[in-house]
Amino acid sequence: MKKLLLLAIVIIACIGLTACGGGNRGKVPNGDVNNNETPNYQEPVEEPSQPVIEEENTSEQDNNYNDDEIVVFGDEIIEFEDEPNRPPEEDVVVTTIDPSAEGLVFAFFQKKDGIKTFGDVLDNYTTDFTTLKRSDGKQRRVFLGFKLDENNRILRAYACGIYKGTLFALEGTQNGECFESNKAIINRLYQGAEVVDKGYHYYIMDAEVHVDVWDNGYASTFYDLGAEIDSHGQIFCD
């Protein structure tokens, strides 16, 4: 009886061993076994759906500028060119006084310092226009001229200029009565310059000292600043 029971246990054990070994059917995964007889599995590598493209670093290329020539301001690139060396400005010398400027007194005051008009008293003036200097000590090329009454009140006003060594004066009025005489002065002194004549407006802008007169009485001269008398009788430099 004991022999039969032992025989049954041996048969059952053999069946169990046969069942466990049959799962691998004698094959080793990946065809390799390590020293501990553990299968050496390898995780599959997933291929990316799209190739990865490395972007070139263009920041160094985009900003590889010569700092002396180019400045980057935000997204805007500003190029600077060296200005040519300019000779120092020569002082002007007056050799002739045109009849239009004879017998006048002269002044220079800016609009910010106060505007004069006909009938106002003019306190700060000179009979010697050469005393009207710029801050750098050079002779002013444009300024104002006046005829005053015995109480220094303004009777007549002029936009003065120095052109090619000649001092001249264009009279400003409130009724345009000097328009034709101002044009005659310009034509006499600015021979060869390009005149713009619109009928009611007569001016020259391509000369060293610009001149500008209107049939409403406006008159002005301009160099670094302007001297003007407008048709409302306002007199100033600016």
- CA-wise closest residue to 226 among 174, 170, 156, 180: 170
Strand, coil or helix: 207: coil
Q: What's the rounded Cα separation, in Å, for the pair 152 and 105?
A: 10
Mean pLDDT taken over the chain: 79
Tell me the backbone φ, ψ of residue 50, rounded to 5 degrees.
-130, 145
pLDDT tens column, 39-90: 444 545 555 555 555 555 544 444 443 444 443 334 444 444 444 565 677 8
On whether the CB atoms of residues 29 and 41 are closer than 8 A, the answer is yes
- CA-wise closest residue to 96 among 199, 33, 24, 165: 165
Conformational region of residue 70, where left means phi above 0, alpha means psi within -120 to 50, and beta covers everything else: beta
- Answer with the residue of higher pLDDT: 24 or 107: 107
Residues of the chain with pLDDT > 90: what percent?
A: 61
pLDDT band at 16 (very low <50, low <70, confident <90, very high): low
Residue 217, pLDDT > 70, answer yes
Residue 218, pLDDT > 90, answer yes
Residue with tokens 């997933």: 46
